[in-house]
């Protein structure tokens, strides 16, 4: 081969022939090999001497040689050549490879047509392509068989969303349209009810957080306003910013939540009614014990005292009468205590603040725990239900401290803040864990929270081991403002 030139560049065709990384083969139209380069011999693991003037099909396994000859005859004729083709073949040594052929006609010395083929081993590339196709099929199968509707759209410059570019079969099913019809829709129509102000806010939040979960009412071709929870996420799709929307139908969940809410309200109303009945019963029993039994004991004491005064000459009988009088006094005191525990008369007669003061004093006398309290100077105008609930929360809190906290000091604070009544009870005890606070078996703590919820308030309990416990009850006063 002689040197040639293109422009100012000189090159030698012999160098190209020998240095090419691709196999080069020249055959006649009958498939006889005229010439091969070293890269071709290396590719097929055959020396040049075994190939020249041999039929090309000897390079392939005997089982496929007939098929290879037929394909060669179909691919090449005297006036036609397939410029490029790919084949998976089995070579003479049993090795399976993918080969790429780039073909063209050249003129031989006798002016007849010869076939020049550049041959390249593309097994690795084809394997990657097949793996990609397999992954694509797996992804598509997963994409279409998920129980949630999935949509993809591009995020355009200028804070706009394009039409959907991908969707799964579940999305078509929910929106009641074909895939072609769905791909003509966009998120503004489907998720945001054509409210452009909402979509601008959504894009700002998505750019800031990369993913957002929000509720929407889906609108499609044959459906209108289906409640759904949308999980949206930014990602790159075809080297462009895009958004994946995963939509989950929550109509059934909403119905369940609504039924649960109704049932909860019914149970709470029942609990409120039961508490009211219990407080009324306590009040009635307390009054009857105080009035009936207390009066009877008082009358009995008077009668015993009169009888004792008439006996002046018998010290033994006089002493017995005195013992009976003391026993009656103790009984009267016990009746008063029992009546107060059932329902403090101060709570009904004078209000919440005197009742808390009385209970605190009684608590200190009986437990020896020092209490420091700060209460409003003027009585707070509370209805009976709220007054009773807050007093019972207060009682439960300080008695829990006495039973479990090993505390030596309790701070009690009652104040009005922004039309709310705030009660705080803080002790210096051993504290409790969060698990104990949340334990469904902690009926006392649950009872406090439930009492507050019934009247629209809340109870928060904060504690840490060896750092005491704080109980904070907040009760709304809005309904009572007009009474002040």
CA dist 385 → 17, 275, 419, 448, 454 (Å): 102, 9, 17, 14, 10
Q: What architecture (CATH level 2) is domain 3-127?
A: 2-Layer Sandwich (3.30)
The 3-class SS string of the chain reads CCEEEECCEEEEHHHHHHHCCCEEEEEECCCEEEEECHHHHHHHCCCHHHCCCCEHHHHECHHHHHHHHHHHHHHEECCEECCEEEEEEEECCCCEEEEEEEEEEEECCCCCEEEEEEEEECHHHHHHHHHHHHHHHHHHHHHHHCCCEEEEEEEECCCEEEEEEEECHHHHHHHCCCHHHHCCCCHHHHCCCCCHHHHHHHHHHHHHHCEEEEEEEEECCCCEEEEEEEEEEEEEECCEEEEEEEEEECHHHHHHHHHHHHHHHHHHHHHHHHHHHHHHHHHHHHHHHHHHHHHHHHHHHHHHHHHHHHCCCCHHHHHHHHHHHHHHHHHHHHHHHHHHHHCCHHHHHCCHHHHHHHHHHHHHHHHCCEEEEECCCCCCCCCHHHHHHHHHHHHHHHHHHHHHHCCCEEEEEEEEECCEEEEEEEECCCCCCHHHHHCCCCHHHHHHHHHHHHCCCEEEEEECCCCCEEEEEEEECHHHHHHC
Q: What is the pLDDT of residue 342?
A: 60
Nearest to 211, CA basis, from 185, 184, 235:
235
Residue 252 is predicted with a pLDDT of 67
pLDDT, residue 81, reads: 77
Question: Is the CB of residue 347 less than 8 Å from the CB of residue 388?
Answer: yes
Note down pLDDT in tens along the chain; length 484 residues.
445 444 444 556 777 888 888 999 999 888 899 999 999 999 999 999 999 999 999 999 999 999 989 888 887 765 677 888 889 999 999 999 999 999 888 887 777 788 899 999 999 988 888 877 776 676 666 677 778 888 999 998 877 888 999 898 888 888 888 889 889 999 998 988 888 888 889 998 998 899 999 988 888 776 667 888 999 999 888 888 999 999 888 766 677 777 777 777 766 666 666 666 666 666 667 666 655 666 677 777 777 777 777 776 777 777 777 787 788 777 777 766 666 666 666 676 678 888 888 889 888 988 899 999 999 888 788 888 888 888 888 888 888 888 888 889 999 999 988 888 999 999 998 888 777 777 766 767 777 888 888 888 999 988 877 788 999 999 998 654 333 3
Fold assignment, 146-249: Beta-Lactamase (3.30.450)
pTM to 2 decimal places: 0.43
**What pLDDT score does 358 carry?**
85
Answer left, alpha or beta for residue 317, where phi above 0 means left and psi between -120 and 50 means alpha: alpha
At residue 280, the pLDDT reads: 64
Quote the CA–CA distance of 390 and 473 in Å, as a whole number. 8
- Is there a contact between 174 and 220 (Cβ–Cβ < 8 Å)? yes
Please determine, looking at this structure, whether the domain spanning 349-483 carries the CATH number 3.40.30.10. Answer: no
The answer to whether 363 and 398 have CB atoms below 8 angstroms apart is: yes
pLDDT at 362: 85
pLDDT the model gives residue 5: 46
For residue 341, the SS3 value is helix
Which is it for the CA torsion 367, 372, 376, 382, positive or negative?
A: negative
Residue 339 has a pLDDT of 62
**Residue 409 near residue 373, CB atoms below 8 Å:** no
CB 351 within 8 A of CB 358: no
Compute the distance between CA of residue 19 and CA of residue 47 in angstroms, rounded to an integer.
Answer: 16
């Amino acid at each position: 081969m002689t040197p040639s030139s293109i422009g100012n560049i000189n090159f030698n065709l012999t160098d190209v022939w020998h240095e090419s990384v691709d196999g080069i083969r020249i055959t006649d139209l009958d498939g006889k090999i005229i010439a091969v380069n070293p890269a071709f011999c290396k590719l097929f693991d055959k020396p040049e001497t075994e190939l020249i003037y041999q039929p090309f099909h000897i390079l392939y396994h005997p089982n496929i040689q007939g098929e290879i000859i037929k394909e060669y005859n179909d691919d090449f004729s005297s006036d036609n050549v397939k410029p490029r083709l790919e084949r998976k073949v089995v070579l003479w040594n049993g090795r399976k490879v993918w080969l790429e052929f780039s073909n063209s006609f050249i003129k031989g010395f006798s002016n007849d047509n010869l076939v020049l083929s550049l041959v390249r081993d593309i097994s690795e590339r084809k394997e990657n392509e097949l793996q990609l196709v397999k992954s694509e099929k797996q992804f598509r199968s997963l994409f279409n068989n998920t129980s949630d509707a999935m949509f993809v759209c591009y995020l355009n410059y200028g804070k706009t969303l394009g039409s959907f570019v991908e969707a799964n079969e579940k999305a078509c099913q929910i929106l009641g349209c074909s895939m072609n019809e769905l791909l003509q829709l966009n998120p503004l129509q489907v998720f945001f009810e054509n409210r452009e102000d909402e979509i601008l806010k959504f894009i700002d939040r998505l750019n800031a957080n990369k993913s957002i979960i929000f509720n929407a009412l889906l609108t499609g071709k044959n459906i209108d306003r289906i409640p759904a929870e949308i999980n949206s996420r930014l990602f790159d799709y075809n080297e462009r910013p895009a958004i994946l929307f995963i939509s989950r139908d929550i109509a059934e969940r909403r119905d369940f939540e609504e039924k649960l809410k109704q049932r909860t309200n019914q149970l709470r109303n029942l609990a409120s009614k039961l508490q009211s009945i219990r407080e009324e019963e306590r009040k009635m029993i307390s009054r009857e014990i105080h009035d009936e039994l207390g009066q009877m004991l008082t009358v009995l004491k008077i009668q015993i005292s009169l009888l004792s005064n008439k006996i002046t000459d018998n010290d033994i009988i006089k002493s017995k009468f005195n013992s009976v009088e003391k026993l009656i006094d103790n009984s009267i005191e016990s009746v008063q205590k029992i009546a107060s525990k059932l329902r403090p008369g101060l709570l009904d007669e004078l209000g919440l603040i005197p009742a808390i003061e009385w209970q605190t004093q009684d608590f200190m006398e009986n437990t020896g725990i020092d209490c420091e309290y700060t209460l409003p100077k003027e009585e707070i105008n509370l209805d009976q239900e709220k007054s009773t609930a807050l007093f019972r929360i207060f009682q439960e809190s300080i008695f829990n401290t006495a039973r479990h906290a090993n505390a030596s000091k309790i701070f009690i604070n009652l104040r009005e803040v922004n039309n709310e009544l705030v009660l705080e009870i803080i002790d210096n005890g051993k504290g409790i864990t969060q698990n104990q606070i949340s334990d469904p078996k902690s009926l006392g703590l649950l009872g406090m929270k439930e009492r507050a919820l019934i009247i629209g308030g809340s109870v928060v309990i904060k504690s840490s081991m060896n750092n005491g416990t704080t109980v904070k009850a907040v009760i709304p006063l809005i309904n009572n403002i007009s009474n002040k």
